[in-house]
Structure 1
């Protein structure tokens, strides 16, 4: 379903108000946890430096949902962080650093993403999380990476994880065509759109995890970013994916993280309730 702009604005106000009255829960932050094994870290100084994650989780609550957050920055810059709207919401948050261009090239970014997601599946119970309720998200390049690791199953299969076990994918303003930095690495001009194996659009499939696509307003966003997501939405409908939604945030451009967080949390809450009652 594509929601109208007025509906989304009203929805955000309601959600923001409801979370204000949420019960206070003590959270703990553990920083700079390596997600590659010791042997791999010892073999590559950049992996040892860069491939770390933070886990923020409710201290005395079990069976919690987990949001894995990948930062943006065009695959060339950025640092792991927890968006303010995800603090003290009763969910665990895993925020990830990954290697970046020009020190590495594709598909290393996606491989790091998959390794961090696999680490989460294998370890989140130690942080009071339920591995059946892991949601993958991120902004811009991070949204692209979330889509790639959730749709192209080969990356998680290498770690013994089925991408379909992801509870939901929520890319914020992510490329659905091949990312512009990857096109640059292949010597393809930025004006040439490509849909190849490094494009989420290449991997549309009916059995993928539930998806919530969120972008800024089409006139304020990066040129074409809403339209990419709208076409991705269309193709997922063509293959009869049963659970995908597209939201366009009125009044916001590419920097649309803050108003999108309540929509993310509502999605996580709804899907988690369904899992708990199955």
Structure 2
């Protein structure tokens, strides 16, 4: 576990690799990641289950960052964070259906489908399917964790979750999400660990993980502590490639100072192409 002060984050920002300015980027918006038959049968799915892709036009086989937006599984919309642009990577911003129009568990199904689509299609956008990193903030961090920790979800698409190059949730639930608990009439202060909790799927063979939360005294509910427990149980299970950072002085909305950590993690964990 590490505490990072604001000064260190600023220094990290200046130490990021400089990417040549001549690289040109393109954005493709509103790509449906479910089959047409499903889109035609469900108008809400067709409108929400879409993704945007931002990628370098003249550079192939670049690492990919899949980003899930936050919003408590009840709000928000797909986004490509400005801080991740112009860094030489392919960024996938994912939209998904929201509660209460669907059960919150459907959000996880959508997130998994988007990751599967990315594995199977990202090379057409100069991304490297061997270097896919999954990230997101708050509810998005939870979706990133659930989609990968529960290996059975991607297995339905004939994809091994361990083929993900890395998992970087920002302030994500590791217990059962509070919106799922609310659907059952359970208050947010009552923690539960069941099949909708990343903690339920602790294992030693997961991809490299970087857990980032805000300051334990400023975070939402016990977000730091549940991530710390996830970290500890993963270590006890034998996972060697996991770290946790506490962003000292920052609350739940700690994305801006955390982006440099995400970018450094991607740079350090990308598998070099054999080409």
Normalised by the shorter chain, which TM-score bucket? over 0.9
Cα deviation for residue 13 of structure 1 reads: 2.6
Cα RMSD over matched residues? 1.4
**Normalising to structure 1: TM-score of the pair?**
0.95
- Once residues 48 and 5 of structure 1 are traced to their aligned partners in structure 2, the CA distance between those partners, rounded to angstroms, is 41
Q: List gaps (5 residues or longer) in structure 2.
A: none
- Once residues 19 and 50 of structure 1 are traced to their aligned partners in structure 2, the CA distance between those partners, rounded to angstroms, is 34
Aligned residues: 273
Cα deviation for residue 243 of structure 1 reads: 0.1
Q: Are residue 19 (structure 1) and residue 16 (structure 2) matched?
A: yes
Cα deviation for residue 190 of structure 1 reads: 2.3
Residue of structure 2 equivalent to 1:248: 246
Q: Say which SS state the counterpart of residue 60 (structure 1) adopts.
A: coil
- Once residues 67 and 149 of structure 1 are traced to their aligned partners in structure 2, the CA distance between those partners, rounded to angstroms, is 14
Cα deviation for residue 80 of structure 1 reads: 0.7
Cα deviation for residue 242 of structure 1 reads: 1.3
Cα deviation for residue 251 of structure 1 reads: 1.6
Contact 1:9 1:249 (8 Å CA) reproduced: no
Q: Say which SS state the counterpart of residue 2 (structure 2) adopts.
A: coil
Residue of structure 2 equivalent to 1:119: 117
Contact 1:132 1:275 (8 Å CA) reproduced: no
Contact 1:71 1:139 (8 Å CA) reproduced: yes
Residue of structure 2 equivalent to 1:186: 184
Q: Say which SS state the counterpart of residue 209 (structure 1) adopts.
A: coil
Between 1:183-192 and 1:16-25, the stretch displaced more is 16-25
Cα deviation for residue 221 of structure 1 reads: 1.0
Between 1:66-75 and 1:98-107, the stretch displaced more is 98-107
Q: Say which SS state the counterpart of residue 76 (structure 1) adopts.
A: coil
- Once residues 218 and 196 of structure 1 are traced to their aligned partners in structure 2, the CA distance between those partners, rounded to angstroms, is 24
Q: Say which SS state the counterpart of residue 109 (structure 2) adopts.
A: helix
- Give the counterpart of 1:232 among 230, 233, 241: 230
- Once residues 101 and 215 of structure 2 are traced to their aligned partners in structure 1, the CA distance between those partners, rounded to angstroms, is 33
Counterpart mapping for 1:1-278 below 5 A = 2-6=1-5, 9-10=7-8, 12-19=9-16, 21-24=18-21, 25-272=23-270, 274-276=271-273
Please list every run of at least 4 consecutive aligned residues from structure 1 whose deviation after the TM superposition is greater than 6 angstroms.
none
Q: List gaps (5 residues or longer) in structure 1.
A: none
